Structure 1
Amino acid sequence: MIQARSKGFDVVYGARNNRETDTEFKKWTATAFYGFMKKIGVEMIPQAADYRLMSRRVVEYLLKYKEKNLFLRGIVPTIGFPSTVVYYARKEREAGTTKYPLRKMLSFAWDGITSFSVAPMHFVLGMGIVTTLVSALMLLYTTGKYFAGETIQGWSSLMVSIWFLGGIQLIGLSIIGEYIGKIFNEVKGRPRYIIQDNLLRGDLNEDK
């Protein structure tokens, strides 16, 4: 990692080159997590842990992230700067037990999703729209059943209203969630942009 840093890389990630020591369940969940995070737009280094080597300027910019719940695996790649990955072979545990059971893994995944994306709200919005469309189909279905004389009193209105109101509620919750998501992103106060090299400052220093 130090050799990679000496070549000019500001961030050197340590990543596993394989998961042979993991169970099939752990392999599947890890692959699914990284794949899902990529789909919702979160840039992460696959198979990389929280152990990494960073230059001073990267650390200084990282300190500008004032949020308390720091999801480092997602935050560090957003800072930018030249980076590389050093792969290593993970050996089997020789003593002790893992301090990362399933409960903590699920909590970690949820923190990563909610810290960087409002995708769950978009999912709720999609469910609301689908449910509302289903209510329209139910209206056609129950109307046909009504004229065919195959319904009892109140059945048609009950079926349509349940689907329609359920869809409207989901859409309303997703709209509220969108506003809360924007507030959530604003209160974090993350830097809008990061300057890698300030050439003007260098010129000024030379003049001095």
Structure 2
Amino acid sequence: MKTIAIIIPAYNEADNILPVYQEIQKALLSFTSYNWEVIFVNDGSSDKTLEVLESSAKEYANLKYISFSRNFGKDNALKAGIDSVKSDLVITMDADLQHPPSLIPELISKYEEGYNVVYAHRKGNNPHASFFNKLSSKLFWKILNMLSGLDLEDGISDFRLLDKKVIGVLKSMNESELFFRGMVKWVGFNQIGIEYVPNERLKGETNYSKSQLLKLAIYSITSFSTKPLYSAIYIGFIFSGLSILYIPYIIYSIIHHLEVPGWSSIIMTIVFFGGLQLIMLGVIGIYIGKMFMQAKDRPNYIIDTKNF
């Protein structure tokens, strides 16, 4: 009999633990040919998430948990869950019920058709998101696909099924900055996407601020592409070429004894190119920082306690 591990990162999700578990239980009632367990990864929550997990685990035998020593981030929580299982299949999803557990049977059905990865991506715009979030989401996925060479659908989520081949590859990957949506696409194998309409968040608020989403976007792009480094070279050549167009004006000014433009134009030029240089140095600095963190070879997470 095959086994399924459903891995759910949880950060301040005390009110959502039991509801999401119970919905998963309903969705899997008819799948008697599979043994399944739900593994919550407590990502350093500051609320009563761990207490709820401890009490719930006593009530439900197939509810397991891992608890970190501090907050390490969602992707590291997913890695911890994947590293800890020996199951035939892994399903990853969020704890807030925006990923509908009722879709799990369809994920399993696609796997039984022969797919190694079955991932869910949002159908159309998220009806529960603000206009800014919708616009920034579309822009992010377009830029990421353009720079990384991946083909990630707009609205692709962490709601996915992975088979044993893919699980083994992901376990072997030891990157310091993880971006699972890109990593799962990158590994290849036989993949298929299915559309879903996200539910409204059950309880609580999203844990991502706009600054955190921007940081995630930068990390994601630089994790899968060196094109920003090449763009720095191209921009340098372009502006060096444009500066040559200033030479005829200088010659004309010397011949006709014209005054050179005032300090304001010089200051504007210095400020513009100074800012451009800082941007390019920042791009280079990000990549150097990534190498520095990777060279340290620190673990992606530290487990404080778990019940299996």
How far, CA to CA, are the matches of 1:137 and 1:95 in structure 2?
A: 60
Distance of 2:204 and 2:175 partners within structure 1: 33
- Which one of 253, 258, 274 corresponds to residue 150 of structure 1? 258
For 1:11, which of 113, 117, 124 is the aligned residue? 117
> What is the CA deviation profile of residues 116-146 of structure 1, one whole-angstrom value per residue up to 9, with x for unaligned ones?
1112212211221122112211122111112
Match of 2:167 in 1: 59
Confirm or deny that 1:32 pairs with 2:160: no
**Higher helix fraction (1 or 2):** 1
Contact 2:150 2:185 in 1 (8 A): no
Preserved contact between residue 9 and residue 84 of structure 1 (Cα < 8 Å): yes
Taking the aligned partners of 2:123 and 2:243, their CA distance within structure 1 comes to 50
**Residue type of the alignment partner of 1:30:** S
Q: Which runs of 5+ in 2 are unaligned?
A: 1-106, 296-308
Alpha-carbon distance in 2 for matches of 1:64, 1:46: 28
Return the alpha-carbon distance in structure 1 between the equivalents of residues 218 and 245 of structure 2.
Answer: 35
User: Contact 1:14–1:88 (CA<8 Å) still a contact in 2?
Assistant: yes
- Share of identical aligned residues, percent? 25
- Tell me what 1:97 maps to: 205
Question: What's the secondary structure of 2:152's corresponding residue?
Answer: coil
- Measure the CA separation in 1 of the matches of 2:204 and 2:170: 33
Partner of 1:68: 176
Instruction: Map residues 120-139 of structure 1 onto 2, 5 A cutoff.
Output: 120-139=228-247
Check conservation: 1:145, 1:151, Cα contact below 8 A.
yes
Contact 2:121/2:194 (8 A) holds in 1: yes
- Secondary structure (helix, strand or coil) at the match of 1:63 reads helix
Does 1:21 pair with 2:128? yes
Query: Who is 2:37 aligned against?
Result: none
CA distance in structure 1 between the partners assigned to 2:198 and 2:158 by the alignment? 15
Question: Does structure 2 retain, via aligned residues, the 8 Å contact 1:50–1:73?
Answer: yes
Residue 52 of structure 1 aligns to a residue whose secondary structure is: strand
Q: CA separation in 1, counterparts of 2:241 and 2:129?
A: 44
Partner of 1:78: 186
CA shift, 1:93, in A, is 2.8
